[in-house]
């Protein structure tokens, strides 16, 4: 039997060398992708997600038209090479449908859909690499892509996963850590410190839950600063390219939290 990897050692370090509350390295790329109105590729450690946003635009189906607001459509695909699983997940897979529904319900209260009646906003999420924190990466990537597309929102949505190893709370979990402890994903609106999403698949003691919620709020503020910085850099380059009459080249905005 292979030896069990220690998630948190006596020195307070995790298996990847981070401290309990330390977030993984974040990279953000806001390069234009094809005909998308806004796009973002984000990595949290070894988890990588690419999000494309189209719209607001006319709904393709009459059944998807809402007379007083925009309809938000979310589709998720998971690349076969992104995981060690042997089975291939298609669009009808239960986990993918649940992921898409969760992303949609997270952004419906935040996007100002009433400004675009009888239209549709499409959010396409492609999972490229998975190592824990998948939902948080999808939500954070969608926040950046929507902002990049100029979709008006009440606030940024900043998500982070937290868990508890025995009595030790931890943030931004890897896949190894998620498989080893109860965990929860929280999406925070930094301006008001309100949560637009709290979801957990495992039981967590109420005292630990309150602590994770508080820590997630603090982490959300850190992510908010990182996201604003990436968008500001992108805008600055776009303005500079317009002034000089040249086309802005795509480049990564590598940021470390």
Dump pLDDT digits (tens) for 178-210.
998 889 999 999 999 999 999 987 788 888 888
Dihedral of the alpha carbons of 70, 108, 44, 250, in degrees to the nearest 10: 20
Question: What local confidence, expressed as pLDDT, does residue 21 receive?
Answer: 92
Average the pLDDT over 222-249 and give the result: 84
Q: Is the pLDDT of residue 257 over 50?
A: no
Residue % of the chain over a pLDDT of 70: 89
Question: What local confidence, expressed as pLDDT, does residue 3 receive?
Answer: 43
Which of the pair, 60 or 37, is modelled with greater confidence?
37
Domain assignment present for residue 2? The answer is no
By C-alpha distance, which of 181, 153, 171, 148 is closest to 221? 171
Domain assignment present for residue 3? The answer is no
211: domain CATH number is 3.30.230.70
Q: Is 3 exposed, middle or buried (0-12, 13-18, 19+ CB in 10 A)?
A: exposed
Query: What is the DSSP annotation of 26-45?
Result: EEEE----TT-SEEEEEEET
Question: What local confidence, expressed as pLDDT, does residue 253 receive?
Answer: 54
Encode burial over 202-224: b for 16+ CB neighbours within 10 A, e otherwise.
eebeeebbebbeebbbebbebbb
Q: Largest alpha-carbon pair distance within the chain? A: 63
Domain assignment present for residue 32? The answer is yes
Secondary structure class of 1 (helix, strand, coil): coil
Dump pLDDT digits (tens) for 95-137.
999 999 999 999 999 999 999 999 999 999 999 999 999 999 9
Give dist(CA 124, CA 100) in Å, integer: 9
- Residue 29: pLDDT band by 50, 70, 90 thresholds? very high
By C-alpha distance, which of 99, 104, 84 is closest to 49? 99
- Residue 226: pLDDT band by 50, 70, 90 thresholds? very high
Domain assignment present for residue 65? The answer is yes
Give dist(CA 154, CA 149) in Å, integer: 15
Q: Is the pLDDT of residue 13 over 80?
A: yes
Total domain count, the chain = 1
Give dist(CA 113, CA 107) in Å, integer: 10
Q: Which of 11-15, 67-71, 232-236 has the lowest mean pLDDT?
A: 11-15
pTM of this structure: 0.89
Domain assignment present for residue 135? The answer is yes
Contacts of 206 (CB under 8 A, 6+ apart): none
Domain assignment present for residue 14? The answer is no
Give dist(CA 224, CA 58) in Å, integer: 31
Give dist(CA 197, CA 187) in Å, integer: 5
Residue 148 is part of which domain span? 26-244
Domain assignment present for residue 252? The answer is no
Domain assignment present for residue 18? The answer is no
Question: What local confidence, expressed as pLDDT, does residue 81 receive?
Answer: 78
């Amino acid at each position: 039997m292979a030896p069990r990897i220690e998630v948190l050692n006596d020195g307070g370090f995790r298996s990847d060398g981070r401290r309990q509350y330390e977030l993984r390295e974040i990279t953000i790329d806001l390069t234009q992708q094809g005909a998308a109105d806004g796009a973002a590729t984000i990595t949290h450690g070894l988890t990588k997600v690419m999000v494309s946003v189209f719209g607001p635009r006319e709904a393709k189906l009459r059944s998807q038209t809402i007379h007083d607001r925009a309809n938000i459509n979310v589709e998720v695909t998971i690349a076969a090479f992104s995981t060690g699983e042997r089975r291939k997940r298609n669009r009808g897979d239960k986990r993918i449908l649940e992921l898409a529904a969760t992303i949609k319900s997270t952004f419906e209260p935040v996007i100002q859909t009433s400004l675009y009646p009888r239209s549709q906003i499409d959010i396409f999420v492609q999972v490229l690499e998975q190592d824990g924190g998948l939902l948080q990466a999808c939500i954070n990537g969608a926040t950046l892509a929507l902002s990049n597309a100029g979709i008006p929102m009440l606030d940024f949505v900043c998500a982070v996963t937290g868990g508890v190893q025995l009595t030790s709370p931890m943030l931004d979990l890897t896949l190894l850590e998620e498989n080893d402890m109860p965990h929860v994903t929280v999406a925070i609106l930094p301006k008001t410190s309100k949560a637009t999403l709290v979801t957990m698949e495992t039981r967590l003691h109420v005292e630990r839950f309150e602590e994770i919620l508080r820590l997630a709020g603090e982490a959300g503020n850190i992510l908010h600063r990182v996201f604003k910085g990436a968008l500001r850099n992108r805008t600055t380059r776009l303005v500079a390219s317009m002034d000089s009459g040249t086309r802005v080249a795509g480049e990564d905005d590598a940021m470390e939290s």
